[in-house]
Amino acid sequence: MPKLLGSLYLRLRGRDPVLLNQLTYTTNWRLRKLLAALGVRQITDLNETDFLAECRGEGANLRSKKARLVRRLTAFNALSRPVLLAASLYTRLREGGSEMLACKEA
């Protein structure tokens, strides 16, 4: 939510929005960029890894409709690579939290 709307929302609820200006919103892309600038060589998005493992049918029981769709589409060899790349891009672009594993040195 943009800070202006957040401030309005807090005021409507009778709360002081003073601390809202101290928050910094960070996207997955920005986090990757910041880690790379710190010299981190390997960044693994655990949400992406888990989603792609679910799409491949590893471990999880394909609870997600998206994972089931990806699983069906990857059954066709010609679509497998493009669909997995699109699924990977989807998980990187979506917002709402992230778990990342960062290794600075091997």
Q: Which domain holds residue 77?
A: 3-103
pLDDT, average across residues 12-18: 91
Residue 5 neighbours by CB under 8 Å, 6+ apart? none
Instruction: Give 36-83 pLDDT, tens digit per residue.
Output: 888 887 777 676 777 777 776 665 555 677 777 888 887 888 888 888
pTM tops 0.75, yes or no:
no
Q: How many CB atoms lie within 10 A of CB 94?
A: 14
**Structural domain total, the chain:** 1
Residue 60 neighbours by CB under 8 Å, 6+ apart? 50, 53, 54, 67
SS3 content of the chain, % helix, strand, coil (to 5): 60, 10, 35
Q: What is the pLDDT of residue 106?
A: 59
